[in-house]
């Protein structure tokens, strides 16, 4: 491929008139309603429902996930939660995928059901978990653990199946947010803590040598990024931790391959958010969550 | 400029960059929508048209990156399938090749070769260092087997 071919190829790509009109229509509607969807609003709303990372985004969008959902989450056994958290930890991919696209009516119903879920409409059954996509039954909703894929039936999904999926997404998010509280045998925990501290010290020495920033500065940059770049409120968020991380081998570009991972916790929405910050120049490399 | 005029003027440009970054029509529409929301709310005037355009790209690419970093996205479409909807058959191989690059590389490649921005301008738009832009350009070119001279 050469320079001209890239240009020629992109010259053929155009927004459809339909999408353009829809955008104008939505903007007018928002203006007429006197309120604009916040930046990343739709994503925030979805993230709220999924409660993944996203409490950060959701604070200003939704006051809270309804307490009835929280109660449901709190009733899940510790074993089940730790099993789920472990499953997520081991997954090689960092996002859920779907075996097919939603149909238009599924999209519509899913949106309505997410709202209903928050008000206490729960599925009767739990989603079927299978080890791999190959094991997924053809005409039944399931979740393949190995590649974090929702295997959707070829037919239109029922409300029950959509609710099972919504419920499972809530449960996964809750499991992750609770994982840090899992207790370990004291001795093992102490050893791991010593090891972690030694690693942190080593990384910190490299950061100092390169004239890098400190923990508090990293936390401040993260907070400011959420507020100014993403336009989000950080009120109600807890700073959970600030750790150094060796990012050699990752696709992140940092000056000396060391970054801070600044983690915020949104207790209201059981959500966590990680910002990865270059330990030398303080630039935000990634906003992430799980 | 009215919102209709702004959408008509800039949405095609934003669509191209967002579809290149996100490879998904619905996510792209969300980002364009959000970008114009911010545009509507912006109080300070733009210095000129170039400033306005660069600002829109910055907001859109930030939104794209945020979408990419979060777990929740619309269902994915295979790139080959997306390519069929975007370009004529003779260009499908090219666009598939471009969209198959890692997102960080295809973004700078797009801004440089299609939008015609210089390295410094791209660094300003994406809020990254010029060295990082150059590095991504180099990797992107290597992966695309681009043979022309700088």
In the predicted structure, residue A208 carries a pLDDT above the cut 50? yes
Across the interface, whether the CB atoms of B16 and A39 are under 8 A apart is answered no
Residues of A in contact with B114 (CB under 8 A): 6-7, 10
pLDDT in tens, A8-66: 889 999 999 889 888 888 887 766 554 433 333 333 333 333 333 333 333 322 333 34
Q: Are B88 and A12 a contacting pair at CB < 8 A?
A: yes
Q: What is the pLDDT of residue A80?
A: 86
> Residues A86-103: what's their mean pLDDT?
74
Q: Cβ contacts of residue B124 below 8 Å, gap of 6+?
A: B54
Chain B touched by A281 (CB under 8 Å): yes
Please report the pLDDT score of residue A44 as a whole number.
34
Residue A261, chain B, CB below 8 Å: the answer is no
Hey, which of A1-5, A92-96, A104-108 has the most confident mean pLDDT?
Answer: A104-108
Task: Please tell me whether residue A284 adopts helix, strand or coil conformation.
Answer: strand
Instruction: Read off the pTM.
Output: 0.46
Q: Which of residues 117-176 of A touch B (CB under 8 A)?
A: none
CA distances from A59 to A97, A114, A170, A227 (A): 26, 17, 16, 12
A32 close to B (CB below 8 A): no
pLDDT at B141 over 70: yes
Task: Inform me whether the pLDDT recorded for B98 exceeds 80.
Answer: yes
Q: Which residues of A touch B38 (CB under 8 A)?
A: 39, 231
**Interface residue A35 vs chain B (CB under 8 A):** no
B95/A251 touch (CB, cutoff 8 Å), yes or no:
no
Give me the sheet containing A284-288, strands edge to edge: A238-246, A258-266, A271-278, A284-288
Report the complex ipTM. 0.88
A80 lies within 8 A of chain B by CB = no
End-to-end CA distance of chain B: 37
What does the pLDDT read at residue A217? Answer: 92
Lowest model confidence (mean pLDDT) among A4-8, A78-82, B49-53, B67-71: B67-71
Residue given tokens 């060391």 in the structure block:
A258
**pLDDT for A192-204, tens place per residue?**
777 778 888 889 9
Lowest mean pLDDT among A118-122, A268-272, B128-132: A268-272
Residue A60 has a pLDDT of 28
Report the residue of chain A nearest B27, measured CA to CA.
A43
Q: Residue A246 above 80 pLDDT?
A: yes
- Confidence bin at A251 (pLDDT 50/70/90): low
Share of chain A above pLDDT 90, in %: 14
What chain A residue is nearest to B104 in terms of C-alpha separation?
A251
**Rounded to an integer, what is the distance from CA B26 to the centroid of its chain?**
15
Using a CB-CB distance cutoff of 8 angstroms, which residues of chain B are in contact with residue A9?
87, 91, 94-95, 98
pLDDT of residue B150: 43
Q: What is the mean pLDDT of chain A?
A: 76
Q: How confident is the model at residue B16 (pLDDT cuts 50, 70, 90)?
A: very high
- Residues B18-65 have pLDDT tens digits of 999 999 888 899 899 989 988 887 777 888 889 999 999 998 998 888
Question: How many Cβ pairs closer than 8 A exist between chain A and B?
Answer: 159
Would you call A27 and B40 a contact, using CB atoms and an 8 Å cutoff? yes
* Of the candidate ranges A185-189, B8-12, B82-86, the one whose mean pLDDT is the lowest: A185-189
pLDDT at position B46: 85
Instruction: Spell out the long-range contacts of A98-103 with Cβ–Cβ below 8 A and sequence spacing 24 or more.
Output: A98/A149, A98/A150, A98/A152, A98/B75, A98/B76, A99/A133, A99/A136, A99/A149, A99/A150, A99/A151, A99/A152, A100/A152, A100/A154, A100/B75, A101/B74, A101/B75, A101/B77, A102/A152, A102/B74, A102/B75, A103/A156
- Rounded to the nearest 5 degrees, what angle is found at the Cα of A220, between the Cα atoms of A211 and A56? 135
A13–B contact, CB cutoff 8 A: yes
Hey, is the C-beta of A25 within 8 angstroms of any chain B C-beta?
no
Whether residue A29 lies within 8 A of chain B, CB to CB, comes out as: no
Residues of A in contact with B12 (CB under 8 A): 14-15
Give B65 or B9, the one with higher predicted confidence: B9
- When scoring A5, A53, A54 by the number of chain B Cβ atoms within 10 A, the one with the most, hence best to mutate, is A5
pLDDT (0 to 100) of residue B7: 92
- The DSSP secondary structure of B88-139, one letter per residue, reads -HHHHHHHHHHHTS-HHHHHHHHHHHTS---HHHHHHHHT--HHHHHHHHHH
Q: Do A23 and B11 touch (CB under 8 A)?
A: yes
pLDDT band at B77 (very low <50, low <70, confident <90, very high): confident
- The predicted structure's pLDDT at residue B121: 93
The residue ranking higher by pLDDT, A248 or B146, is: A248
Q: What is the mean pLDDT of chain B?
A: 85
**B2 to chain A: closest CA residue:** A24
């Amino acid at each position: 491929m050469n320079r001209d071919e890239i240009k020629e190829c992109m010259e053929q790509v155009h927004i459809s008139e339909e999408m353009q009109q829809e955008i104008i229509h939505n903007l007018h509607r928002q203006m007429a309603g006197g309120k604009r969807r916040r930046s990343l609003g739709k994503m925030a709303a979805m993230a709220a429902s999924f409660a993944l990372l996203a409490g950060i985004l959701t604070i200003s969008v939704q006051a809270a996930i309804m307490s009835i959902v929280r109660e449901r989450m709190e009733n899940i056994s510790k074993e089940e939660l730790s099993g789920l958290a472990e499953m997520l930890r081991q997954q090689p991919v960092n996002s859920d995928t779907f075996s097919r696209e939603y149909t238009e009516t599924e999209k519509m119903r899913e949106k309505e059901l997410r709202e209903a879920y928050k008000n206490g409409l729960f599925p009767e059954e739990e989603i079927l978990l299978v080890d791999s996509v190959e094991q997924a039954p053809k005409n039944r909703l399931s979740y393949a653990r190995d590649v974090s894929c929702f295997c959707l039936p070829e037919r239109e999904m029922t409300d029950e199946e959509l609710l099972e999926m919504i419920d499972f997404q809530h449960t996964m998010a809750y499991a992750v947010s609770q994982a840090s509280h899992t207790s370990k045998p004291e001795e093992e925990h102490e050893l791991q803590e010593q090891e972690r501290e030694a690693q942190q010290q080593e990384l910190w020495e490299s950061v100092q040598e390169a004239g890098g920033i400190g923990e508090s500065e990293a936390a401040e940059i993260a907070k400011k990024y959420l507020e100014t770049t993403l336009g989000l409120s950080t009120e109600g968020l807890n700073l959970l931790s600030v750790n150094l991380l060796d990012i050699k081998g990752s696709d992140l570009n940092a000056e000396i391959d060391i970054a801070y991972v600044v983690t915020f916790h949104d207790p209201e929405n059981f959500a966590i958010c990680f910002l990865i910050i270059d330990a030398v120049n303080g630039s935000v490399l990634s906003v992430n969550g799980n | 400029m009215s919102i209709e005029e702004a959408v008509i003027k800039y949405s095609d440009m934003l669509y191209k960059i967002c579809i290149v970054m996100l490879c998904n029509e619905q996510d792209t529409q969300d980002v364009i929508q959000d970008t114009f929301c911010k545009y509507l709310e912006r109080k300070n005037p733009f210095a000129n048209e170039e400033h306005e355009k660069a600002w829109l790209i910055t907001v859109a690419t930030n939104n794209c990156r945020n979408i990419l970093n979060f777990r929740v996205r619309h269902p994915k479409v295979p790139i080959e399938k997306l390519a069929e909807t975007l370009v004529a058959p003779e260009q499908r191989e090219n666009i598939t090749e471009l969209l198959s690059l890692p997102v960080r590389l295809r973004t700078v490649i797009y801004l440089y070769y299609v939008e015609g921005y210089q390295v410094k301008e791209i660094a300003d738009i994406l809020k990254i260092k010029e060295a990082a832009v150059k590095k991504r350009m180099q990797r992107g070119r290597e992966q695309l087997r681009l043979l022309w001279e700088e």
